[in-house]
Amino acid sequence: MPLDSSIPAHLRCPRTRHRRVSDSWKPPYPAFSAKVDPTVEQLVMAYFGVQSKGEATHGKACAAFQKIRDSLQLADGPARHDIVQFVDAEGFLNLIVVAYWQDPKAHQNWNNSPEVAGWWASDDRLNEGVGYFREILSPRMEQFETIFTHDYGPFEGVSILFGNMSEPIFEHGYWGSMRDRLPVSQNDTMEPSGKLTVTQGQPQAGGRVIISGHQNLTLIRSGEDWSRTQGEERRTWYEDIEPVLHQGMNFLRDDGLEVGCYVNRYCHHIDENGKPLEKGFGVSLWNSLAHLEHWGESHPTHLQIFVTFMRNVNKFKDLTLYHEVSVFDASNQYFEYINCHPKTGLLRAV
């Protein structure tokens, strides 16, 4: 059977740019992309966070986080969301809701509602002993791609909303395939332009800081679910893969700026009661897709992840991996930090 293209049929168009590999390319193993309905034109992916440090403020953080979670239930709230946590390099606990909409209008209605807009705008948020942030990004479907190791569920990320998976895809198994999966790559190099700009506040001073992004800023959420692994596969995950992945995630967290990574969070899913689940993801923002490519292809921290994985690839059956990658128009990005320490999110990068 011929391979499917990761680029959905309705987004294929005459090309001025070719894929990296020739048409005779045969991927060495199958992979899949989430298949979106043609009626979906743009997504909204919002990362809402509560930041705190120490036992004493944990209760406050949980209460604040619950406020955010409650707001998801309001009219036009997200179609789905994940709850995750991440302890950053400064030792702060970051509780994060990752919320997704397939309808930007619905997000706009929700985001502009007095309950949501008013709550975030209130000066009360400056005086609750915890930090807050929201990072809201809206890729057009031409600017979005996914890859999955399995074509059965449960899927992850925004793809759960799509409800369908492609046949085995052509564009994977080679460096550059991430770019080739993005429909916009048919005619665009996705070069970055502009730069991160503080539009309100002072990152070093705390308080409320709003940052505007730039053309073709790039996000990757790259995740793994080891909940179904057993025996040798499970041992390999815990002893051989995860420690190396962790090192790579820490490099990006601490030294990512030198390779064009603005921020990286190595998150673990938690359930409604805060209990860790056996799945997680790294989510990072980059100056450009090219920077993300270059790190992935050449930096020892990532290559070691890749080599370790490739060495063990035959052991994997139930470990599921996926990623979602987006590039964004400058106008489709919003970053706000309230009472956060100056190494939070994009604050460290401006």
Residues annotated as catalytic are 323
List the one residue out of 349, 342, 328 whose CA is nearest residue 260.
349
- Of the two residues 187 and 202, which places its CB atom closer to its own copies in the complex? 187
Q: Map tokens 């031409």 to a residue.
A: 142
- For residue 265, the cross-strand partners are 283
Count of chain residues binding its own copies (CB under 8 A):
27
**Nearer to its own copies by C-beta: 235 or 311?**
311
- What backbone phi and psi angles, to 5 degrees, belong to 273? -100, 10
Q: Say if CB 264 and CB 249 are below 8 A apart.
A: yes
Query: What are residue 183's phi and psi, to 5 degrees?
Result: -55, -35
Considering Cα of 81, then 83, then 86, then 92, what sign does the dihedral take? positive
Q: Tell me: does residue 304 bind its own copies (CB under 8 A).
A: yes
Range in contact with its own copies (rule: CB under 8 A) among 56-64, 75-83, 289-297, 322-330: 289-297
Per CB under 8 A, the segment of 128-136, 220-228, 301-309, 326-334 that binds its own copies is 301-309
Contact between 316 and its own copies by CB under 8 A: the answer reads no
Whether residue 172 contacts residue 6, with contact meaning beta carbons closer than 8 Å, is answered with yes
For 65, phi and psi rounded to 5 degrees? -65, -35
Rounded Cα–Cα distance for residues 310 and 326 (Å): 25
Note whether 21 binds its own copies by CB under 8 A.
Answer: yes
Q: Tell me the closest approach of the beta carbon of residue 93 to its own copies, in angstroms.
A: 33
Helices H, strands E: what count in the chain? 9, 14
Residues with Cβ within 8 Å of 48's Cβ and at least 6 positions away in sequence, in order, are 68, 96, 97, 99, 132, 133, 134
Contact residue for its own copies among 1, 14, 22, 127 (CB under 8 A): 22
Q: Does 195 bind its own copies (CB under 8 A)?
A: no
Measuring CA to CA, which residue among 218, 213, 316 is closest to residue 264? 218
**Residue 290 makes contact with its own copies by CB under 8 A:** yes
CA dist 265 and 322 (Å) reads 16
Q: Is 14 in the site for its own copies (CB under 8 A)?
A: no
Under the criterion CB under 8 A, does residue 119 sit at the interface with its own copies? Answer: no
DSSP letter, residue 42 = B
Among 173, 206, 207, 342, binds its own copies (CB under 8 A): 173
Q: How many C-beta neighbours within 10 Å does residue 211 have? A: 23
Looking at the Cβ atoms of 283 and 321, the one nearer to its own copies is: 321
> In this complex, which beta carbon is closest to its own copies, that of residue 187 or of residue 230?
187
Position among 41, 191, 254, 255 found at the interface with its own copies (CB under 8 A): 191
- Angstrom CA distances, 266 to 81, 196, 249, 276, stand at 17, 22, 6, 13
Regarding 3 and contact with its own copies (CB under 8 A), the answer is no
**Contact between 174 and its own copies (CB under 8 A)?**
yes
Given the complex with its own copies, which of 79 and 303 has the nearer CB atom?
A: 303
- By CB under 8 A, tell whether 238 contacts its own copies: no
Helical (H) or strand (E) element with 195: none
Nearest approach, Cβ of residue 165 and its own copies (Å):
24
Considering only residues 10, 12, 13, 17, which one is a binding residue for its own copies as defined by CB under 8 A? 17
Minimum distance, C-beta of residue 279 to its own copies, in the bound complex (Å)? 26
Among 11, 20, 69, 167, binds its own copies (CB under 8 A): 20
- Shortest separation between residue 181's beta carbon and its own copies, angstroms: 15
List residues binding its own copies (CB under 8 A). 17-18, 20-22, 24-25, 28, 173-176, 189, 191, 290, 293-294, 297-300, 303-304, 306-307, 310-311
